[in-house]
Structure 1
Amino acid sequence: MTLSTFPKLSALPASLPLDSAIRIELVEGIPIFRASDAVQSRIEVLLNKQQETALSEEEERELDCYEEVDDYLSFVNRTVRNLIVAQN
């Protein structure tokens, strides 16, 4: 992997708490980056509201940003896992 293939985030959600936004868990000795409980709760609120009624444009952008962050964390987790597995 080169730096040119590393994805870039276009924005972070305005509601993303800069402290305690991400937690790290060890899974079989591999660090896994996950959204904090507070962030997951906000996403659930938005998803539940989306099922009941239309989100505002701002809420749609916020949810889109959270989806982008989730995709980014998934990429980071896959990359870390693959690097560790390749070393072993």
Structure 2
Amino acid sequence: MLVHPSLPPLHHLPDSLPLDGAVRIELESGVPIFRASATVQNRIVMLLEKQQLEALTELEEQELDAYEEIDDYLSFVNRTIRNLAVAPNSQG
């Protein structure tokens, strides 16, 4: 499958990522914004706090890296949606 070159690649998802409820949708000025769920955010915070106190295991490092990839992906999706939502209104 061809992927758009500006689309951030997702190599894998963390095993701890819940398949249901991993992402929530919020409306900002009528535009849907995708965010990590509270469960996912709590896991990321836990990993970051642990990382400040001690070294993460290799699996935890991989998990944190995968969450970073997901965050990059959601940011890209949100930027794209915002740009599409604004574009028709700016051509007036």
- Structure 2 length as normaliser, TM-score? 0.90
**What's the CA shift for 1:4?**
4.3
Q: How does 1:40-79 map to 2 (within 5 A)?
A: 40-79=41-80
Note the aligned Cα RMSD (angstroms).
Answer: 1.3
Aligned to 2:19: 18
Deviating above 6 A after TM superposition, structure 1's stretches of 4 or more consecutive aligned residues are none
1:84 pairs with 2:81 = no
Aligned to 1:7: 8
Gaps of 5+ in 1: none
Q: Distance in 2 between matches of 1:60 and 1:77?
A: 26
- Give ranges in structure 2 of 5+ residues lacking alignment: none
Tell me which amino acid in the other structure corresponds to 1:23: R
- For 1:62 and 1:3, the matched residues in 2 are separated by 25
SS in 2 for 1:66: helix
SS in 2 for 1:51: helix
The amino acid across from 2:39 in the alignment is A
Checking the alignment, whether the CA contact within 8 Å between 2:33 and 2:78 is kept in structure 1 is: yes
Letter in 2 for 1:9: L
Sequence identity, in percent? 66
For 1:9 and 1:71, the matched residues in 2 are separated by 9
How many residues are aligned here?
87
